Structure 1
Amino acid sequence: MRKILAYPLTVVYFIVFGLLLVIFHPVQWLCFNVFGYQAHKKSVDVLNFFLAYSLLLLGDWIIFRNPHNIPTDKPCIIVANHQSMYDISPIIWHMRKHHPKFISKKELGRGIPSISYNLRHGGSALIDRKDKEQAFKEIINIANYANKNNRSVVIFPEGTRSRDGKPKRFQTGGLKILLKKMPNAHVVPISINNSWKTLRYGKFPMGIGINITFDVHKPLGARDLPAEELIEKVEEIVSNGIKA
Structure 2
Amino acid sequence: MKTVIDYILSVVYLVYFGLVLVVFHGIQWVVYTLFGSDAHQKTVEWLNFFLVHGWWLTGSTFKATKTVELPTDRSIIFIANHQSMFDIPGIIWYWKKHTPKFVAKKELAKGIPSISYNLRIANAALIDRKDGKSAVVEIAKLGKHICENTFSAAIFPEGTRSRTGKVKEFHVGGVATLLKRCPNALIVPIAIEGTQKFNPKGIFPLSSFSKMRFTSLEPIEPQGKKVDEIVNEARAQIIKIVEG
Q: Give yes or no for TM over 0.5.
A: yes
Q: Whole-Å Cα distance in 1 between the matches of residues 168 and 243 of structure 2?
A: 13
Q: Which residue does 1:133 correspond to in 2?
A: 133
In the TM superposition, residue 73 of structure 1 has moved relative to its aligned partner by 0.7
Counterparts of residues 179-194 of structure 1 (less than 5 Å): 179-194=179-194
Over the aligned positions, Cα root-mean-square deviation in angstroms equals: 1.2
In the TM superposition, residue 224 of structure 1 has moved relative to its aligned partner by 4.7
Q: Whole-Å Cα distance in 1 between the matches of residues 87 and 201 of structure 2?
A: 18
Counterparts of residues 109-148 of structure 1 (less than 5 Å): 109-148=109-148
Whether 1:100 and 2:97 are equivalent positions in the alignment is no
Counterparts of residues 40-119 of structure 1 (less than 5 Å): 40-119=40-119
In the TM superposition, residue 243 of structure 1 has moved relative to its aligned partner by 2.9
- Verify the 8 A CA contact 2:60 2:210 in the aligned structure 1: yes
Single out whichever of 28-37 and 111-120 deviates more from structure 2: 28-37
Counterparts of residues 128-207 of structure 1 (less than 5 Å): 128-207=128-207
Q: Whole-Å Cα distance in 2 between the matches of residues 118 and 202 of structure 1?
A: 22
Q: Whole-Å Cα distance in 1 between the matches of residues 205 and 132 of structure 2?
A: 36
- Verify the 8 A CA contact 2:80 2:190 in the aligned structure 1: yes
**Runs of 5+ unmatched residues, structure 1:** none
- Verify the 8 A CA contact 1:189 1:217 in the aligned structure 2: yes
Q: Whole-Å Cα distance in 2 between the matches of residues 155 and 173 of structure 1?
A: 11
Q: Whole-Å Cα distance in 1 between the matches of residues 232 and 12 of structure 2?
A: 42
Q: Whole-Å Cα distance in 1 between the matches of residues 7 and 224 of structure 2?
A: 49
Q: Whole-Å Cα distance in 2 between the matches of residues 31 and 224 of structure 1?
A: 43
Any idea what SS the aligned residue of 1:118 has?
helix
- Counterpart AA for 1:216: S
Single out whichever of 178-187 and 7-16 deviates more from structure 2: 178-187
Any idea what SS the aligned residue of 2:243 has?
coil
Q: Which residue does 1:11 correspond to in 2?
A: 11
- Verify the 8 A CA contact 2:172 2:227 in the aligned structure 1: no
Q: 1:41 to 1:203 in 2, by over 3 A?
A: closer
Q: Whole-Å Cα distance in 2 between the matches of residues 62 and 209 of structure 1?
A: 10
- Verify the 8 A CA contact 1:53 1:61 in the aligned structure 2: no
Q: Which residue does 2:236 correspond to in 1?
A: 236
- Counterpart AA for 1:90: G
Q: Which residue does 2:214 correspond to in 1?
A: 214
- Counterpart AA for 1:79: I
Any idea what SS the aligned residue of 2:55 has?
helix
Tell me the TM-score normalised to structure 1 length: 0.97
In the TM superposition, residue 67 of structure 1 has moved relative to its aligned partner by 3.0
Q: Whole-Å Cα distance in 1 between the matches of residues 154 and 202 of structure 2?
A: 26
- Counterpart AA for 1:239: I
- Deviation readout 1:56-102 (Å, 9 max, x if unpaired): 10011111101311111100000000000010111101100100000
Q: Whole-Å Cα distance in 2 between the matches of residues 215 and 134 of structure 1?
A: 32
* % identity of equivalent residues: 43
- Counterpart AA for 1:58: T
In the TM superposition, residue 200 of structure 1 has moved relative to its aligned partner by 2.7
Single out whichever of 145-154 and 232-241 deviates more from structure 2: 232-241
- Counterpart AA for 1:54: G
